[in-house]
Structure 1
Amino acid sequence: MFGHRNISVMDRRLLLLLLLMMEQNALCQQQQTCTKSVVNSCSDCIKSGPFCAWCQKLNFTKPGEQEAVRCDTKDQLKQKGCDAEKIISPVNSHNINKDDRLSTSFDRQEPVQMRPQKISLQLRPGLPETFRVSFKRVEGYPVDLYYLMDLSYSMKDDLQNIKELGNDLFAALKRITRHAQIGFGAFVDKTVLPYTNTNKEKLAKPCDENDQQCQAAFGYRHVLSMTSEEREFEKEVKAQFISGNLDSPEGSLDAMMQAAVCGDKIGWRNSSTRLIVLTTDAGFHMAGDGKLAGILEPNDEQCHMENDLYVKSSEMDYPSVGQLAAALEKHNIQPIFAVTQNVETVYKELSKIIPKSEVGVLSSDSSNVVQLIQRAYNSLSSKVTVTHDSLPDNVRVVYTPICSNPGPAGDSRGVCNNVPEAETIYFDVTVTVDSCIENTSFTISPLGIKDTLTVTLSTNCKCPCENLEDKAHQLCSHKGSIICGICNCNAGFIGQFCECSIGDKDESSLRASCQRNNGTECEGRGDCVCGRCQCHNTESGSSIYGEFCECDNDHCEKFQNKQCGGNGDCKCGTCDCYSGFEGSACQCRKSDEACRTSDNTVCYGRGNCVCNRCVCKEGYQPPLCKTCLGCPDPCQTKLNCIECLAFGTGPFEKNCSTECKNTIVKKVDQFTLSTKECQQKDSEGCWIKFKLDQLVGEDNYTAEYLEQRECPEPPNVALIIGGSVVGVALIGILVLMLLKALLYMKDLKEFKKFENEKKKSKWAKADNPLFKSATTNVANPTFTGE
């Protein structure tokens, strides 16, 4: 009875959804329009909009009508007399290439949880196409759980409990599925400063000195690959000991990234629900934090495991949250953050960024971790989220979930909540291509599930009628062929029916002469015949005219739903107002009451009164154009005029009356807007004092000035020359006297030095022992000695 009631509720919901879709479809049918721009062929028409159709009926257009008339909605074309079989309007089509049935239970083969698996879509730009995807969780689907534990010193008590909870953990997994496997990994942080003490002894034993069982510091270590053996898990976990580091945040993102990308080492199975259970009591380091340790190389999202150890921990920065989220989604891994209450808020914010993740609060000693994992798994597995990978350009996808607890429809994913195991749910996937594209594809898949749907896309942008027929068709004056109902002229001929011979003239130059400012040929409202526009007539009978068919009298601005407000005539798109009315839509009665100023002028002569509001000239400010922002200082701009009018000098001396016609140099008895006192230096260097009174109008002033200018006295040339000569002579004498004094002082100093040295000298009074006096011997040669 309970099951039958659920089915009835589901049926009612599906019926209501169907009715809403039918109502929406009917509304869309009523709103079908074809907005054309430049249409010269059937393909141009098809690309103009999803509801544009082309009539290929011969002689459908009237003489002088442009072929663009063939492009419109189906209903409009039928009303214009086009037979239904002659209307071309490509539609969407899809073909299911692979559609294996959903599996009921896991039987050691590759299970199928989503169908179809491959689909091809051929879409018309702008026209959405909807197909249905079904999903059913397989009973007993395998589960791979990788237990990733923080082994920093603060987790000492938690490690002891995990060693004793192995049996309970396996028992909980077996209640979920008979095909459960479990692995184990541990992390602390990068073994560099400032995260870890790099002292040799501290690296070997980073724990408290009294703690004997302590393993050396490490970043991330893979301990146990996926196994279904309880004893093996217990053995490896019991062999683990606590480690340590310096700061509070840990390298958990490093560990999760390696556990995700090193699939062959972790032992992830191809067909399994993959879970990473992260237990920690601290926050996490992320991209950019590595700069504190001089680590600048970004994380490359690759596996760097050697001997079960992450070897690039000290060389590569932490991954960003976005990198980790992309890696987990790519490898269909769902994280469960089992954290203490002090960091619950941090990991809940992280969970918002990582799809298909859960956060649970650990007790102080992690004794509730088994119950936490079981609740998190049930929450993850009961929520089915279907999304896509990167979409091609100009492609939009919207998901509409069809289940008992649907999430909101969206353009990025579809969500069904609280889905029981083995219940089939559905998603309507609507794909829209905005423009013609090359053949491309994208993938749709449920988050955390291996199953995928490959969608191959192509666009339908050509008409099937674009094939050449008789090259000398009678309708084309025997000078062209018929393509989709219109003439394709042979070389040398142009025109709707190939009736114009271009001779030696270039066809492109003839067509260019029918384009205004290189725009649309004849503004899209006429035919270019031999270089001249032949304008069409509108359905209402009013004429289109102008050299380029740019004018008509039906499209002027409206006021109160009346063209030109009913107070004027429409002429070439512009309202020609009746007497007494003005405005772009003749919506205002002529009046300047609100534009009158206190001196009974209109906008102070600096603007025009349009629809009872001042439209000011550049610089002058509304509402009455009284003040001017950004205008130059009148004291400077009027200086030359004051100088020439009052003193007959200055740059305007020769053409003063012409340049200064808006300036009156005399006192007048009339209303002034403002008075400004000025003091400026004229072209002769004299100071002129004057007062400016701004009058009504633009750049209109009267001036009062002082007749006496303050001019500097002329220089005394004789005095200057005489003073210069005397000054130079005096300076020369002073310089010579100074040099003489310096030389005298120097000589005096040297003389005193000489005198001092002379007084210090001691002269010897004894004879020089080496000195011998001269002797003289006289011999008489005649002396005989007698």
Structure 2
Amino acid sequence: MDLCLPLLLLLMGTNGLCQQEEVCSKSVINSCRDCMRSGPYCVWCKQLNFTKPGEQEAVRCDTRAKLIGRSCEEDEIISPKNSLTIVKEDPLSLSFIQQEPVQLRPQKISLRLRPGLSTTFNVFFKRVQGYPVDLYYLMDLSYSMKDDLENVKELGKDLFAALKSITEHGQIGFGAFVDKTVLPYTNTNEKKLQRPCDEADQQCQAAFGYRHVLSMTNSELEFKRKVTEQSISGNLDSPEGSLDAMMQAAVCGDKIGWRNSSTRLIVLTTDAGFHMAGDGKLAGILEPNDEHCHMQNNLYTKSTEMDYPSVGQLAMQLAKNNIQPIFAVTENVEIVYKQLQQMIPNSEVGVLSKNSDNVVRLIQEAYHKLSSKVTLTHGNLPPNVSVVYTPKCAYAGSAMASEGVCDKVVAGEEIYFEVTVTVASCMKNTASFTIRPQGIKDTLTVTLSTNCECECEDPEKSDHPHCKGKGRVSCGICSCNEGFVGQFCECSIGNKDEHSLRASCRRQNGTECEGQGDCVCGRCQCHTTESGSSYHGDFCECDDEHCEKSHNKLCGGNGKCNCGKCECFPGFEGSACQCRTSSEGCRTPNNTVCYGRGTCKCDQCECNEGYQRPKCHECLGCPDPCQTKLNCIECLGFGSGPFKKNCTVACTTSITYEMVDQFPIASKQCHQKDTEGCWITFKLEQLVGEDYYKAEILKERDCPEPPSVTAIIGGSIASVALIGIVLLMLIKLLLYMKDLKEYRKFENEKKKSKWAEADNPLFKNATTTVANPTFTGE
């Protein structure tokens, strides 16, 4: 996985911190010009005969590596490069000894960029020692600031002394404000308008919105005289018209007396909050602030006709006129002005004492903070242009993406910033923008154009042999004369073999060019979609409008749709490019991704078959490793078993005995019988990966004793004799059973027989009788 992906949107150029994989995402490519507009790494091969007959010319457009892999010669590759020309680069000034000191270099740069391919250059800055300072003291003269005014009248000497400690070329001006002279901000009773203070207060001037009192001067006496003439005024509500006053002080530069070459400061002193845009509706004032100067006789004349400016309007005008505000406010409104500081660049907030006697110290501290912090930024950028700053200084401060910040920079110290400019798409005309330090007049003007054209140095003749004498070569492809078409102008419009040509325009014998193009000389020329893009593909089967959406945007707005599939920009992934590329959600306690048993997509593990989410730790249905690894344990540990002849090849990729610098995922005790009948006791520790274990044989094999030969022979003879006797007895039993069966059958037949009892007529009994005379009969 490319660890540089999170930086790709910022660092896509050759000077980036990491190398991006070169990818050419092609869409509709009909010419070299189309290729140049397809991506920063798309190049074009102008080599003749590079494409095969009937092959799309779009194959000429790809990355340099792939084209060379397709046998395109290096000198036949067209790839516009970025170019940078320094137009003006005056050296930085050493001190303020000239009318227009130079604090930023270079001053003018011309860039010609290829879209998507960024370029980086250095911008140097050195604050001139003794640079002029214009300080405009803008004071709240509402009644609650009465004590503060009296104290400020005595601060002229201290203010000028503070300026002298900063620069020999300092000037001070003075202005005052209260609020709009309409209800509900000010009592509109005629007498109250003339004397809005308490009746007991004799020194009170008429109500007013903003008054410019003193233009920039280096005269301490003039400043003291003008300020001494001021008196307090009053209004009704607590918030004041601070933003009205600051806006006029910013845009009325000729009346305030801002110098062209100076650090411009507005010191706003107040003890109250401020009204902002929209508050004017309370008085029926609906006209928005127009950000223009409306000063007559040193008074703001549109105070009762025009709404207060917004904070955004004020911030823009302060930046435009290189003015840095210092808010010297009382403790009760410090939080309010701290929040305002966050929205106005290069501003500072200090807390006044009850009678403002510490204002000089606050101004000195705020100035040193502002002057030691250098913030490089730019004005309005042309469309599709991005700028990134990389500060190169001892204290690189935090900044937004559109700024570069160096802090704790002392006067006379030279620092520099790396500025990376990227343009996303081709521009019709030359554009420009400015880069400058906030609060400093010096600027760098960047003139920008894009390089989207191909310079192929083609021959002029219109009967080039490559085009069958019927056209000219344009960047390696034929531009046919009228009446001829085809890859090599080999077809005339009236070609008779039209059927075979049209057949080549049908995909799988389907509709010609999918109904979204015309078949011209055997090749599809695709139509344009309803939205203005083109169908593409060999058969016009693709368009770039029907991809998956995310947040109601095609490819989530983070990728390009190509033929129905999203091709995500660097840093994004997912079927709709809806996810930022990240593997944090897939990290395991041992700092692996999904334990090596799956891939991390959209910050979630997609596990291999059998392994379970969320981190692919367990496997359901997987075989017992004690059995599957037994043969390898036997061959690696004891040199026996079915794998003993190729043990290294069969086993070392899935099992190891060596020390491994990683924690095991799981372990298991095994007790198995091997092929020799021996019991093996071993321990398996599962390592990262789908089938990788560390094995430890806990003890020697437990094998049975070998059998006795005598016992085997004796046992065998006894067994044979016993089997013979058993067989004889079995035969005898079978014969007996058979005889018994026959006898019983005979008996049954005998019972069924019936014999005749007639005498034999031929039989005659014996007629001679012999007696033993001695037989007594006992």
Compute the TM-score of the two structures, normalised by the length of structure 2: 0.63
CA contact (8 A) 2:11 2:18 kept: no
**1:396 aligns to what SS in structure 2?**
strand
What pairs with 1:104-183 in structure 2 (closer than 5 Å)? 104-183=94-173
**2:350 aligns to what SS in structure 1?**
strand
Partners of 1:208 and 1:443 in 2: how far apart? Answer: 52
The aligned residue for residue 56 of structure 1 is: 46
**1:161 aligns to what SS in structure 2?**
helix
Partners of 1:164 and 1:493 in 2: how far apart? Answer: 93
1:488 aligns with 2:448: no
Per-residue Cα deviation, 1:290-325 (whole angstroms, up to 9, x for no partner): 111111111111111111111111111111111111
The aligned residue for residue 333 of structure 1 is: 323
1:199 aligns with 2:189: yes
Cα displacement (A) at 1:21: 9.0
What pairs with 1:687-766 in structure 2 (closer than 5 Å)? none
Selected match of 2:82 from 92, 103, 109: 92
Partners of 1:22 and 1:49 in 2: how far apart? Answer: 12
CA contact (8 A) 2:12 2:118 kept: no
**2:366 aligns to what SS in structure 1?**
helix
Partners of 2:438 and 2:512 in 1: how far apart? Answer: 53
Selected match of 1:319 from 286, 289, 309: 309
Partners of 2:108 and 2:438 in 1: how far apart? Answer: 18
1:424 aligns with 2:429: no
Partners of 2:466 and 2:458 in 1: how far apart? Answer: 17
What pairs with 1:462-501 in structure 2 (closer than 5 Å)? 462-465=453-456, 467=458, 469-501=460-492
Partners of 1:227 and 1:454 in 2: how far apart? Answer: 32
Cα displacement (A) at 1:527: 12
Selected match of 1:245 from 208, 232, 235: 235
Counterpart amino acid of 2:147?
A: D
Partners of 2:192 and 2:310 in 1: how far apart? Answer: 29
Selected match of 1:186 from 176, 189, 192: 176
Counterpart amino acid of 1:185?
A: G
CA contact (8 A) 2:54 2:523 kept: no
Partners of 1:128 and 1:515 in 2: how far apart? Answer: 42
Q: 1:475 to 1:157 in 2, by over 3 A?
A: same
**1:164 aligns to what SS in structure 2?**
coil
The aligned residue for residue 8 of structure 1 is: none
Partners of 2:503 and 2:214 in 1: how far apart? Answer: 77
Q: 1:30 to 1:386 in 2, by over 3 A?
A: closer
Partners of 2:293 and 2:18 in 1: how far apart? Answer: 52
CA contact (8 A) 1:147 1:183 kept: yes
Partners of 1:271 and 1:263 in 2: how far apart? Answer: 13
What pairs with 1:675-694 in structure 2 (closer than 5 Å)? none
1:299 aligns with 2:289: yes
1:271 aligns with 2:261: yes
**2:153 aligns to what SS in structure 1?**
helix
Cα displacement (A) at 1:78: 1.6
Cα displacement (A) at 1:469: 2.6
Selected match of 2:394 from 381, 394, 404: 404
Per-residue Cα deviation, 1:137-169 (whole angstroms, up to 9, x for no partner): 000000000000000110010001101111111
Counterpart amino acid of 1:325?
A: A
CA contact (8 A) 1:276 1:336 kept: yes
CA contact (8 A) 1:121 1:457 kept: yes
Per-residue Cα deviation, 1:510-542 (whole angstroms, up to 9, x for no partner): 9999599xxx9969xx996614569xxxxxxxx
The aligned residue for residue 430 of structure 2 is: 439
Partners of 1:463 and 1:270 in 2: how far apart? Answer: 45
Unaligned runs of 5+ in 1: 1-16, 535-545, 552-572, 574-786
Counterpart amino acid of 1:391?
A: L
Partners of 2:130 and 2:144 in 1: how far apart? Answer: 37
Selected match of 1:32 from 22, 38, 46: 22
Cα displacement (A) at 1:43: 1.0
What pairs with 1:358-369 in structure 2 (closer than 5 Å)? 358-369=348-359
CA contact (8 A) 2:11 2:118 kept: no
Selected match of 1:211 from 168, 180, 201: 201
What pairs with 1:319-398 in structure 2 (closer than 5 Å)? 319-398=309-388
CA contact (8 A) 2:462 2:469 kept: yes
Partners of 2:323 and 2:303 in 1: how far apart? Answer: 22
Partners of 1:360 and 1:53 in 2: how far apart? Answer: 58
Q: 1:235 to 1:108 in 2, by over 3 A?
A: farther
CA contact (8 A) 1:398 1:410 kept: no
Partners of 2:222 and 2:512 in 1: how far apart? Answer: 82
Partners of 1:425 and 1:479 in 2: how far apart? Answer: 62
Cα displacement (A) at 1:548: 2.9
Partners of 2:122 and 2:231 in 1: how far apart? Answer: 52
CA contact (8 A) 1:400 1:410 kept: no
Counterpart amino acid of 1:350?
A: L
Partners of 1:334 and 1:257 in 2: how far apart? Answer: 12
Selected match of 2:244 from 226, 232, 254: 254
Partners of 1:332 and 1:380 in 2: how far apart? Answer: 12
CA contact (8 A) 1:399 1:409 kept: no
What pairs with 1:378-777 in structure 2 (closer than 5 Å)? 378-408=368-398, 410-437=400-427, 438-465=429-456, 467=458, 469-503=460-494, 514=505, 530-532=521-523, 548=539
Cα displacement (A) at 1:73: 1.4
Cα displacement (A) at 1:408: 4.1
Partners of 2:158 and 2:17 in 1: how far apart? Answer: 59
Counterpart amino acid of 1:424?
A: E
Partners of 2:163 and 2:19 in 1: how far apart? Answer: 54
Per-residue Cα deviation, 1:225-279 (whole angstroms, up to 9, x for no partner): 1000101111111111111111111111111111111111110000000000000
Cα displacement (A) at 1:334: 0.4
**1:149 aligns to what SS in structure 2?**
strand
Per-residue Cα deviation, 1:700-727 (whole angstroms, up to 9, x for no partner): xxxxxxxxxxxxxxxxxxxxxxxxxxxx
Q: Considering only aligned residues, what root-mean-square deviation do their CA atoms show, in Å?
A: 3.1
**1:48 aligns to what SS in structure 2?**
coil
Partners of 2:355 and 2:49 in 1: how far apart? Answer: 88
Partners of 1:547 and 1:419 in 2: how far apart? Answer: 61
Q: In the comparison of the two structures, how many residue pairs are matched?
A: 517
CA contact (8 A) 2:12 2:116 kept: no
**1:482 aligns to what SS in structure 2?**
strand
CA contact (8 A) 1:400 1:409 kept: no
CA contact (8 A) 1:500 1:529 kept: no
Q: 1:106 to 1:235 in 2, by over 3 A?
A: same
Per-residue Cα deviation, 1:405-457 (whole angstroms, up to 9, x for no partner): 11246531111111111111111111111111121111111111111111111
Partners of 1:132 and 1:239 in 2: how far apart? Answer: 51
Partners of 1:373 and 1:458 in 2: how far apart? Answer: 44
Q: 1:299 to 1:489 in 2, by over 3 A?
A: same
Per-residue Cα deviation, 1:104-151 (whole angstroms, up to 9, x for no partner): 111141011111111111000110011111111000000000000000
Q: 1:247 to 1:49 in 2, by over 3 A?
A: same
Cα displacement (A) at 1:68: 1.5
Partners of 1:74 and 1:394 in 2: how far apart? Answer: 26
CA contact (8 A) 1:146 1:275 kept: yes
Counterpart amino acid of 2:469?
A: H
**2:319 aligns to what SS in structure 1?**
helix
